[in-house]
Amino acid sequence: MNQLIFSKYLKRVGLPALFFCAVLSQLTSCTKDNFNNTGFSASDNPLNVITVDTFSFSTTTVKEDSVDVVGYLYQLLGVMNEQNFGETKASLATQLLLSEEDPFFIDISDIAIDSVNMLLNIQKTYGTDAVQDFKVFMLSEALDTSNNFKSNSILNYDQFEVADAKNVKINTDDSVNLGGDNYAPGLKIPLYNTFGEYLLNSNRFAIISNEDFLNYFHGLFIVPQSSFAQGEGGVVRLNLTSSQSRIRINYHSISTGEEFYYDFVFGSGAVKFSTFSHDVTNSTLEQALGDPKKSDEYLYIKSAAGCYVKLDLTFLEKFAAENNAVINKAELVVPVENDIDLPYEPHQRLFITGVSDEGKEVILLDQFESETHYGGLYDATEGQYKLRITRAVQQKIDQFKNNENPNTQFHLIPGDLIPGGAAVNANQTLIAGKNNPNLSRKFKLIISYTPLNK
């Protein structure tokens, strides 16, 4: 895996399923610092492999500051409100491109605008398909990728909107009509006709090329306006590079009545990204963020720069001092509490990272193993994730034995099956903590090791 992919991964990017050297884990099970054999004895275990799942470690839900959002295929848009995680709002900034450079239009003075509609291809829906309201604004700053936009970036835009669309349908079933042509289901947002006049009446030299057009027109900012009660609303994942996604201006000749249209597109060459905001008021997440002791019962992982879990395996120092052993397997078992609460579904994948002395997330050695070894995929049958961190645990133990003082913190973070991870999904995972009322389902770190002669 090259350095570029490493870099993107450490910026909270979900790698393709082929790669997933991941980083995520949330351990919280055990309450005792003993290392006794929990299921084997020397008589029935001739290899003397000891398995322990009663380690004590701390876990805390941590609010995410931001994630990188530029450069991914998909973007998020919409509002949803879930009782455990609160409100998630995703807005969308995007450049607009010419579908044909140096297009020919009839005499501008002879044009009458009939309609202007934006159609966005929906790739996936999180939450419900309740209708939503949106406002669309023109950006007053260029979307220069050198600005290193983040999920919490504040964008400058013209306060006079180009759309104030009410009751927009999150349409995943019915075809969409644009000026008489039917397209696959998607999000259709009507724009003001005056916006179409602005684009078609733009400086003639501004539409000779896309470069000229981007210098003239910086792009659009789509902001959801709806507010939902708990258990309502949804966020959609959009594919703006789809051939379906476009802004179509339908117009006709005043003098002849002849009808025309022109499409502006988003395309792979356009800069586009989502920004996120969260309101956890009156949610159980609000309590967890305000009182770390709440992590004893539940832990929270939320995409779109929401939250992740920090855990600290401080017991490894004591283990290293009291044992001369080889770690055969170290596996996190992460039980999910919201797996039946669709449509607000848990993540398809989680990752676990180490943490450097400087507080930066670092890739674990286990990521270099196969995907089947590392794990992290959601098991819907068992309602849990399993992640192996065998090599990472062995490394920490070896460092303690060498009189080093390694950082024993890890981060369990949201992922996905596609590049972009937490920036391109709105999943939320509720995890059973070490003092969860359901005693049969709680965080565990299971370690199997073989004692060596000293």
What is the torsional sign of CA 94, 95, 99, 105?
Answer: positive
What would the pLDDT profile of 65-93 be if each residue is shown by its tens digit? Answer: 999 999 999 999 999 999 999 999 999 99
CA distances from 37 to 53, 141, 328, 330 (A): 9, 63, 14, 15
Give the model's confidence band at 33: pLDDT under 50 very low, under 70 low, under 90 confident, else very high. very low
Write the burial class of residue 229 (CB in 10 Å: 0-12 exposed, 13-18 middle, 19+ buried).
exposed
Residue 37 has which token pair?
């054999």
Residue 2: how many CB atoms within 10 A of its CB?
Answer: 6
204 and 291 co-located in one domain: no
pLDDT score of 353: 96
What would the pLDDT profile of 335-354 be if each residue is shown by its tens digit? Answer: 999 987 788 999 999 999 99
Q: Per-residue pLDDT for 291 more than 90?
A: no
Distance CA 409, CA 59 (A): 10
210 and 266 co-located in one domain: yes
Q: Per-residue pLDDT for 124 more than 60?
A: yes
Distance CA 304, CA 116 (A): 30
Confirm whether 40 is domain-assigned.
Answer: yes
Among 237, 270, 303, give the residue marking a domain's end.
270
Among 221, 251, 270, give the residue marking a domain's end.
270
Confirm whether 276 is domain-assigned.
Answer: no
Residue 140 has which token pair?
């007053």
Residue 194 has which token pair?
């005056």
Give the model's confidence band at 145: pLDDT under 50 very low, under 70 low, under 90 confident, else very high. confident
117 and 62 co-located in one domain: no
Confirm whether 275 is domain-assigned.
Answer: no
Confirm whether 215 is domain-assigned.
Answer: yes
What would the pLDDT profile of 174-232 be if each residue is shown by its tens digit? Answer: 899 988 889 989 999 999 999 999 998 877 788 889 999 999 999 999 999 999 999 99
pTM, full prediction: 0.88
| 127 Rama sector, left if φ>0, alpha if ψ -120 to 50, beta otherwise | left
- pLDDT: is 42 or 402 the higher one? 402
Within 140-202, residue ranges assigned H as helices are: 193-200
55 and 167 co-located in one domain: no
Distance CA 169, CA 120 (A): 12
DSSP-based three-state secondary structure for 193 = helix
DSSP-based three-state secondary structure for 195 = helix
The total of structural domains in the chain comes to 2
What is the chain's mean pLDDT, rounded? 87
pLDDT score of 253: 95
CB environment 296-312: b (16+ within 10 A), e (fewer): bbbbbbbbbbbbbbbbb
Confirm whether 26 is domain-assigned.
Answer: yes
DSSP class of 379 = B
pLDDT score of 23: 33
What would the pLDDT profile of 259-271 be if each residue is shown by its tens digit? Answer: 999 999 999 999 9
- The pLDDT of 28-41, averaged and rounded, is 37
Q: What residue numbers bound the domain in which 198 lies?
A: 75-270
**Among the ranges given (13-17, 305-309, 368-372), the one the predictor scored with the smallest mean pLDDT:** 13-17
pLDDT score of 327: 96
Distance CA 406, CA 392 (A): 11
- pLDDT: is 236 or 367 the higher one? 236
156 and 223 co-located in one domain: yes
What would the pLDDT profile of 12-24 be if each residue is shown by its tens digit? Answer: 444 333 333 333 3
Confirm whether 167 is domain-assigned.
Answer: yes
315 and 225 co-located in one domain: no
CA distances from 254 to 104, 111, 260 (A): 17, 6, 11
What would the pLDDT profile of 125-134 be if each residue is shown by its tens digit? Answer: 999 999 999 9
213 and 292 co-located in one domain: no
Beta strands in 371-439 (DSSP E): 384-388, 409-414, 428-432
Q: Per-residue pLDDT for 41 more than 50?
A: no
Distance CA 175, CA 32 (A): 59
pLDDT score of 37: 38
Q: What phi and psi values does residue 37 have, to the nearest 5 degrees?
A: -60, 125
pLDDT score of 61: 95
Pairing mode, strands 50-52 and 384-388: unpaired
123 and 35 co-located in one domain: no
pLDDT score of 28: 34
Among 248, 270, 292, give the residue marking a domain's end.
270
pLDDT score of 20: 35
334 and 385 co-located in one domain: yes
Q: Per-residue pLDDT for 31 more than 70?
A: no
pLDDT score of 47: 66
Within 291-352, residue ranges assigned H as helices are: 315-322
CB environment 110-145: b (16+ within 10 A), e (fewer): ebebeebbbbbbbbebbbebbebebbbbbbeeebee
39 and 87 co-located in one domain: no
263 and 161 co-located in one domain: yes
pLDDT score of 367: 87
Determine contact, residues 233/79, Cβ cutoff 8 Å: yes
Q: Per-residue pLDDT for 233 more than 50?
A: yes
**Proportion of the chain above pLDDT 90, given as a percent:** 72
- pLDDT: is 110 or 13 the higher one? 110
Confirm whether 163 is domain-assigned.
Answer: yes
Write the burial class of residue 243 (CB in 10 Å: 0-12 exposed, 13-18 middle, 19+ buried).
exposed
> CA Rg, the chain, in Å?
26
397 and 263 co-located in one domain: no
Mean pLDDT: which of 22-31, 218-227, 445-454 is highest? 218-227
Confirm whether 209 is domain-assigned.
Answer: yes
